[in-house]
Amino acid sequence: MNMEVTQLEPYILKGSIKVIDRFFSVPLDYAKPDGQLIRIFVRNLIPVGEAKGSSVESDLPYLLYLQGGPGFGVDLSLSVDLGNALHQKGYQTLWLDPRGTGLSTPITADIFQATQMDDKDIAQYFKHFRADNIVRDCETIRHFLLDGKKDPEARKWSILGQSFGGFCAATYLSFHNDSLKEVFTTGGIPPMVDSPDAVYEALVLKVEQRNKVYYEKYPQDVRNVRRILDFLERNNVVLPNGGNLSVSRWLQLGMQFGSHGGIDRVHQLVFRAITDLDSLGRLSYGLLDSVQGTQSFDTNPIYAVLHEPIYCQGRTASWSAHRIIQKNDKFVWGKVKHMSDDVPIYFTGEMIFPDMFEDYHHLRPLRGAAELLANDEDWPMLYDLETLKKNKVKVNAATYYDDMYVDFGLVQQTASVIGNVEQLITNQSFHDGIRKNMDSILETLFKLSKRERD
């Protein structure tokens, strides 16, 4: 396999953190190692205050962070804040921009347009960006960094997976567990399913609960939201980047209900929209810009295109969330709008719908490819259940009882399958708990990792 590694000039961040940025060239398709190459970016943070001198620094064990999504890179502020906490545990850390994201070779609609790829070619390209290939990229990087170590144990590393990063960790355990010392996950034990239907059938109930909390906290928004949706239905509202602010897109703001403070953020947008309608008779540029800024599908197309296929193993996704949400009248504006004014319309959650590929400006060129992928059943296996049952690598998992993105019941089914799992189960954190309650969650996970029993 042809591979180039580009290492940039190191620099020091405040707090005595040495930073080494590297780009790795890897195959787009690992079945064709001499074919098209893409670049993978990984940032190495080394606590020089704890390890002075290059020889000592090189001996610090690695902990690799796997980002959630799918489709997101790692921002520097998270890597520094979380990195500092992990460095206190004696690690140097690695922060991967998964293929297609961040500083790695990106996936964007304009790239496909520039290369004049048709829908079939685009769909085939996207199929190389799931957990299986992310893990292969990790192994390429691990071999480069650690193959020179004499001690076989020193050639292993630990990983921390947040959300979808935890799904990747389960794939890692399935096919390369001999490369891992220890696994940490936060909101990231995956449902062991072969299509997303069971996932959304469970999650729609949690989204319903969060809507009830929202409207109990802000009862005035029952009528306010209905008024906004009525306005959107009667008017063609265009967002600053050319996307449509449709009824469906406004209801997608409910994705924020799954994170700390999300209910309050949505209310503020509703409050601002109602104020605009009262004073201007329309929605202001500021409000439209704020709505656009809360929704990341334009800038992170993998998040939309592969959101359902990340669950598929030999089966189609078939627009799972759309099919399942339509069964519940509370989420269907076409039905709720004919009911009395005191009947709330429910916001949707972390779900992908076909009309998003019209409403989001930068998803429009991907509509055909998304349709092909939604109906594709040629998806390889992501997990090896027999290997997971025999797992000996310590898995330390933070599991959130009220997680709106990863269903608690499905998590427990998976946790009962994977060997050597210990869980922190809490109802005091939502899906973004590692950001909001970082210290307490990490402290508990590292205590669990000791496997000390009463």
Q: Which of 163, 174, 195, 320 is catalytic?
A: 163
* From 97, 403, 407, 432, the catalytic residue: 403
In 3D, which of 132, 128, 126, 129 has the Cα closest to residue 168?
132
What distances in angstroms separate CA 438 from CA 82, 198, 344, one per listed residue?
7, 30, 35
pLDDT of residue 53: 45
Predicted structure pTM score: 0.96
Q: What is the pLDDT of residue 111?
A: 85
Catalytic-role residue among 128, 307, 322, 431: 431
Per-residue pLDDT at 115: 82
d(CA 349, CA 204): 8
Query: Which residue(s) pair with 1 in the sheet?
Result: none
Query: Among this protein's residues, is 143 annotated catalytic?
Result: no
Q: How far apart are CA 102 and CA 113, in angstroms?
A: 20
CA 287 to chain centre: 26
Look at residue 1 in the predicted model and tell me its pLDDT: 62
| 369/150 Cα distance (integer angstroms) | 47
Q: Which residue has the tokens 């299509």?
A: 195
Beta-strand ranges (E) seen in 14-129 are 17-27, 37-47, 62-66, 92-97
Closest Cα partner for 60 from 32, 96, 28, 18? 18
| DSSP secondary structure code for residue 6 in this structure | E
Q: C-alpha distances in angstroms, 221 versus 208, 229, 351?
A: 16, 12, 22
CATH H-level, domain 5-98+130-192+383-448: superfamily: Alpha/Beta hydrolase fold, catalytic domain (3.40.50.1820)
Contact 187, 166 (CB under 8 A): yes
**402: annotated active-site residue:** no
Check: CB of residue 228 under 8 Å from CB of residue 274.
yes
Distance CA 296, CA 26 (A): 27
Catalytic site includes residue 151: no
Return the structure tokens found at 422: 């210990």
Residue whose C-alpha is closest to residue 185's, from 440, 434, 451? 434
Domain ranges of the chain: 5-98+130-192+383-448, 203-374
Distance CA 100, CA 307 (A): 14
Residue 136 carries which side chain, given as an amino acid letter? R
Mean pLDDT by 10-residue block, N- to C-terminus, for the chain (454 residues)?
Answer: 85 93 97 96 89 60 97 90 95 98 92 87 97 98 96 96 98 98 98 97 98 98 98 98 98 98 98 98 98 97 98 98 97 97 98 98 97 98 98 98 97 98 97 94 97 88
Beta bridge partners of 25: 39
